[in-house]
Structure 1
Amino acid sequence: MPSTSDRDLVDKFLKGEPHADPSSSTGAQVHRPDVDTSRVDERKLMRKIDIRVVPWFAVLYFLNFLDRGSIGNAKLYSLESDLHISDTQYLISLTVFFFPYSLFETASNVVLRLLRPSIWLSTLMLGWGIVMTLHGVIHDYGGLLTVRFFLGLFEAGLYPGIVFYLSCWYRRSELGTRVAVFFSSATIAGAFSGLLAAAIVNMHGVGGKAGWAWIFILEGLFTVLCAIASYFIIADFPEHAKFLSETERVFVVRRLQDDMQFSAGGEKFQAKYIWQSLRDWKTWVASFKATPANLLSVPVYAWACLVTCVVGFLVLYMSGLAGYIILIASRNAALSYFAVYLAASAWVAGNVEGSYKRSVTLGMAIGFGNLNGAVASNVYRAKDAPWYRLGHGIVLAYIAIGWICSLIFIILLRRENTRRDRGERNEVIGGIVNKDATEVNGHYESVEAARRDKGDKWSGFRYAI
Structure 2
Amino acid sequence: MATTPEKRGSSPASDPEVTSENEKARITVYNTDVDTSAVDEKKLLWKMDLALIPWLSFLYLLSFLDRTSIGKYLYNLEQDLHMSDKQYLLSLTIFFFSYAFFEVPSNVFLKRLRPSLWLSFLMFFWGVVMTLQGVVHNYPQLLGLRWLLGMFEAGLFPGVNYYLSCWYKRSEFGLRAAIFFSAATVSGAFGGLLAAAISNMAGIGGRPAWAWIFILEGLLTVIAGAMSFWIIQDFPDTAKFLTEAERTVVIRRLQQDNQFSAAGEKFKFKYVIMSMKDWKTWLGMLVYMGADMPLYAFSLFLPSIINQLGFTATPANLLTVPVYALACVVTCGVGFLADRWSMRGYFNIGFLCLGATGYIILVASRNPALSYFAVYLAACSWVSNNVEGSYKRSVSLAMVIGFGNINGAVSSNVYRASDKPWYPLGHGLVLMYIGIGIITSILFLVFLNRENARRERGERDEYIDDQPETHLPENLKNGRYSTMDDAKRDKGDKWSGYRYTV
Code of the residue aligned with 1:416 in structure 2: it is: E
Q: Select 2:201's aligned residue among 200, 203, 227.
A: 203
1:256 matches 2:254: yes
Q: How does 1:14-413 map to 2 (within 5 A)?
A: 14=8, 18-19=12-13, 20=19, 26-73=25-72, 75-297=73-295, 298=298, 299=302, 300-312=323-335, 313=344, 314-315=347-348, 316-346=351-381, 350-413=385-448
Code of the residue aligned with 2:493 in structure 1: it is: D
Q: CA deviation at 1:108?
A: 1.0
Is the contact made by 1:22 and 1:29 (CA closer than 8 Å) also made in structure 2? Answer: no
Q: Answer with 275-284 or 99-108: which moved more.
A: 99-108
Code of the residue aligned with 2:332 in structure 1: it is: C
* Structure of greater relative contact order (alpha carbons < 8 Å, 6+ residues apart): 2
Q: CA deviation at 1:220?
A: 0.7
Code of the residue aligned with 1:396 in structure 2: it is: L
Deviations 1:83-114 (Å, cap 9, x if unpaired)?
A: 11111100011000000111211111111111
Code of the residue aligned with 2:12 in structure 1: it is: P
Quickly say closer, same or farther: Cα 1:373–1:25, change in 2 above 3 A: closer
C-alpha distance in structure 1 between counterparts of 2:372 and 2:383, whole Å: 23
- Identity between Structure 1 and Structure 2 (%): 59
Q: Answer with 325-334 or 160-169: which moved more.
A: 325-334
C-alpha distance in structure 2 between counterparts of 1:323 and 1:394, whole Å: 13
Q: CA deviation at 1:438?
A: 3.0
C-alpha distance in structure 2 between counterparts of 1:185 and 1:22, whole Å: 41
C-alpha distance in structure 2 between counterparts of 1:274 and 1:364, whole Å: 10
Q: CA deviation at 1:29?
A: 1.7
C-alpha distance in structure 1 between counterparts of 2:10 and 2:119, whole Å: 43
Q: Cα RMSD between the aligned structures?
A: 1.9
Is the contact made by 1:108 and 1:157 (CA closer than 8 Å) also made in structure 2? Answer: yes
Q: CA deviation at 1:320?
A: 1.8
Quickly say closer, same or farther: Cα 1:402–1:388, change in 2 above 3 A: same
C-alpha distance in structure 1 between counterparts of 2:242 and 2:255, whole Å: 18
Quickly say closer, same or farther: Cα 1:264–1:218, change in 2 above 3 A: same
Quickly say closer, same or farther: Cα 1:15–1:27, change in 2 above 3 A: closer
C-alpha distance in structure 1 between counterparts of 2:484 and 2:9, whole Å: 15
The count of residues paired between Structure 1 and Structure 2 equals 454
Quickly say closer, same or farther: Cα 1:17–1:447, change in 2 above 3 A: closer
Q: How does 1:447-462 map to 2 (within 5 A)?
A: 447-462=484-499
C-alpha distance in structure 2 between counterparts of 1:397 and 1:460, whole Å: 38
Code of the residue aligned with 1:44 in structure 2: it is: K
Q: CA deviation at 1:197?
A: 2.1
Quickly say closer, same or farther: Cα 1:97–1:164, change in 2 above 3 A: same
Quickly say closer, same or farther: Cα 1:87–1:52, change in 2 above 3 A: same
C-alpha distance in structure 2 between counterparts of 1:413 and 1:464, whole Å: 8
Code of the residue aligned with 1:111 in structure 2: it is: F
Code of the residue aligned with 2:371 in structure 1: it is: S
Could you state the TM-score of these two structures normalised by the residue count of structure 2? 0.87
Could you state the TM-score of these two structures normalised by the residue count of structure 1? 0.93
Q: CA deviation at 1:294?
A: 1.1
C-alpha distance in structure 2 between counterparts of 1:159 and 1:44, whole Å: 27
C-alpha distance in structure 1 between counterparts of 2:363 and 2:501, whole Å: 35
Is the contact made by 1:22 and 1:30 (CA closer than 8 Å) also made in structure 2? Answer: no
C-alpha distance in structure 2 between counterparts of 1:71 and 1:321, whole Å: 26
